[in-house]
Amino acid sequence: MKFETKAIHVGQGADPTTGATIVPVYQTSTYTQEDVGVHKGFDYSRTANPTRKALEDCLASLENAPYGLAFASGVAATDATLKLLSAGDHVVVSDDVYGGTYRLFERVLARYGISFNWVDATDLGNVDRAIQPNTKLIWSETPTNPLLKLVDIAGLAEVARKHGVLLAIDNTFASPYLQTPLDLGADIVVHSTTKYIGGHSDVVGGFFATRSEELYQTVKFHQNSMGAVPGPMDAWLTLRGIKTLALRMRQHCANAERIARFLADHPAIEAVYYPGLESHPQHELAKRQMRGFGGMVSFVTKGGLEPARAIARSLKLFSLAESLGGVESLTCHPVTMTHGAIPKEIREARGVTDGLLRLSVGIEDGDDLLADLEQALAKAQILTAAR
Ligand SMILES: *Cc1c(COP(=O)(O)O)cnc(C)c1O
């Protein structure tokens, strides 16, 4: 079965009791047992729930995985995965990960005796050299936020295999429509389904997928033990979002590519980061690793903070908001929003400068989005000229 068909059908047969075509919201915490010790695989909804199971079966199939687990949030899925490790274990992490991942690793899990090394994983040699005798896991995102750098998943998988450690990829920015890390040799895929998978900015969720029955059973045990499960309504909303994931991603990609090309030619713009541009330093890797270049575009305005602020303020269709991956377009100013807690020298050394804006390009009409950017850039140019 192909992606679009799996998204509609896997895990989503007619309801066995009523024939309901759409998987019902099984809003129940408990299940009446047929006899002492006899039930249909559901006894308590922290352990399992039919709506959640439909989501898990469907989304696992999109990652080409036999096993998947749905969580209450992306960070909950990350947390349950990291608990595959024990005190004394070590993790090599790509240094450009989601801020909440950094916070969970360094401010929570480090207190439990797990240590982390942060490396620029765009160079695989850095990862290889950071492996220690007690390293158990390599953790990376690709593309990264907000500079949309790529990490070579197949290359990382080789490093992981050489040292006998696990490789986990946070696939949130690409979604399984554009990239399936397990096919490239990763052991684990994690998602914030809050973003493209849910796709409508109305539900928070996370996901874990793997081909290893052993890893699955352990993380399932963690899920039941720690309890960060999504409610049935959240699982249902996420499953509904998945049905249109392929259609949405195609439109996100088409709009984002037009916008990236428009910005690259604009005199008020200093730099554009988009893996689909030939000028992106890892464009060849993007073509090899991804089936499309995604809906995220970042760019740097000439003149720094003030023009960037003017653009963010003048945009009408792009809301100034955190998060990404919804049908509506958003813009974010990383320096004052997502990356505000990082000291100036560190973030500037990483390329997160005052003039940087990140777009989560939605699925509105592309002409309308371009016109909105055009008028906002014109206002910023007037402002720069007046100074
Ligand atoms: C949002 C996000 C997360 C965290 O997910 P939540 O659903 O907000 O808990 C993790 N990784 C990436 C790349 C994200 O964008």
What end-to-end distance do the CA atoms of the chain give, in Å?
59
Residue pLDDT, tens place only, 285-342? 999 999 999 999 999 999 999 999 999 999 999 999 999 999 999 999 999 998 877 7
* Cβ–Cβ < 8 Å for 172, 191: yes
pLDDT of residue 2: 98
Residue pLDDT, tens place only, 59-93? 999 999 999 999 999 999 999 999 999 999 999 99
**Span from the CA of 73 to the centroid of ligand 1 (angstroms):** 8
Catalytic, 46? Answer: yes
The verdict on the CB of residue 194 being under 6 Å from ligand 1 is: yes
User: Which ligand 1 atom is the nearest neighbour of the CA of 193?
Assistant: 7
Q: Between vectors from CA 343 to CA 167 and to CA 104, what angle results, nearest 5°? A: 35
Among 311, 306, 310, which residue's Cα sits nearest to residue 263?
A: 311
**Span from the CA of 266 to the centroid of ligand 1 (angstroms):** 31
The verdict on the CB of residue 204 being under 6 Å from ligand 1 is: yes
Catalytic, 98? Answer: yes
Which H/E stretch holds residue 306?
helix 305-314
Q: What is the DSSP letter of 182?
A: G
pLDDT of residue 360: 98
pLDDT of residue 387: 64
Per the prediction, the chain carries an average pLDDT of 96
pLDDT at 55 over 70: yes
In which band, very low, low, confident or very high, does the pLDDT at 381 lie, cut at 50, 70 and 90?
Answer: confident
pLDDT at 200 over 70: yes
Residue pLDDT, tens place only, 205-256? 999 999 999 999 999 999 999 999 999 999 999 999 999 999 999 999 999 9
pLDDT of residue 350: 82
pLDDT of residue 351: 87
pLDDT of residue 203: 98
Provide long-range contacts, Cβ within 8 A and 24+ apart, for 158-163. 158/124, 158/185, 159/124, 159/127, 159/128, 159/131, 160/185, 160/187, 161/185, 162/128, 163/128, 163/131, 163/135
Helices (H), 97-212: 99-103, 124-130, 153-163, 175-178
In which band, very low, low, confident or very high, does the pLDDT at 23 lie, cut at 50, 70 and 90?
Answer: very high
- The SS3 call for residue 258 is helix
Count the residues in the chain: 387
In which band, very low, low, confident or very high, does the pLDDT at 132 lie, cut at 50, 70 and 90?
Answer: very high
User: Which ligand 1 atom is the nearest neighbour of the CA of 76?
Assistant: 9
pTM of the model: 0.97
Domains and CATH numbers, the chain: 3-242 (3.40.640.10), 245-386 (3.90.1150.10)
Catalytic residue among 98, 196, 273, 274: 98
* Cβ–Cβ < 8 Å for 51, 25: yes
Cα separation, 95 vs 357, in Å, equals 20
pLDDT of residue 96: 84
Residue pLDDT, tens place only, 355-368? 999 999 999 999 99
- How many helices (H) and strands (E) are present in the chain, helices listed first? 14, 12
Provide long-range contacts, Cβ within 8 A and 24+ apart, for 26-35. 26/50, 26/51, 26/232, 27/232, 27/233, 28/232
Catalytic, 149? Answer: no
Which residue has the least CA distance to atom 4 on ligand 1?
74
- The SS3 call for residue 51 is helix
Residue pLDDT, tens place only, 99-128? 899 999 999 999 999 999 999 999 999 999
The verdict on the CB of residue 191 being under 6 Å from ligand 1 is: no
